[in-house]
Amino acid sequence: MSMAMEFCPNCAILLELEAASGDRKTRFFCPACPYVCPINVKIVRKGVLVNKEVEPIFGADDMKYAPKTTASCPRCNHGEAYFKQMQIRSADEPMTSFYKCCNENCKFNWRED
C-alpha cells in the first residue's frame, strides 16, 4: 500500500489524522466539514534511512590561504590551528570561529561560538 495524501471529497481540504482512543479506531477527518473516513487497515511505512554526508568545515583549497593561530586541539593538544570566522547566526550575535588542527596526523575540525 503506498501512502498518499487524502483529501476530503466534499470540500477538497487535506484530511487530518486522529489517533484511536477508547473504542474509536484511528481515522481521517476533515477540519472544515463533518466528513470522517475510518482506517480499517494497518498503516505501515518502511524506509531505509541514509546518513547525511557531513561536509568538512574547511575544503582542501581553503587551507592554502587560511591563517594560523595559537589554539589547543581538543583531540591531540597540538598548539596551532588554521582558523576561519563566519557569521552563522543573526547579525547581533558574535561570529563563530572554526578551527582545523595543523598537526598532519590529526587535522581535527572544531568550532567555538
List the binding residues for Zn(2+): 8, 11, 30, 33, 73, 76, 101, 106
Q: How far is Cα 68 from Cα 101, in angstroms, rounded to an integer?
A: 9
Residues 96, 108: Cα–Cα separation, whole Å: 17
Pick out the residues of the known binding site.
Answer: 8, 11, 30, 33, 73, 76, 101, 106
Query: Coil, helix or strand for 24?
Result: strand
Strands 96-101 and 109-112 come out as antiparallel
- What does 48-110 look like in DSSP terms, one character per residue? ---PPPPPPSS-TTHHHH--EEE---TTT--SEEEEEEE--S-TTSPPEEEEEE--TTT--EE
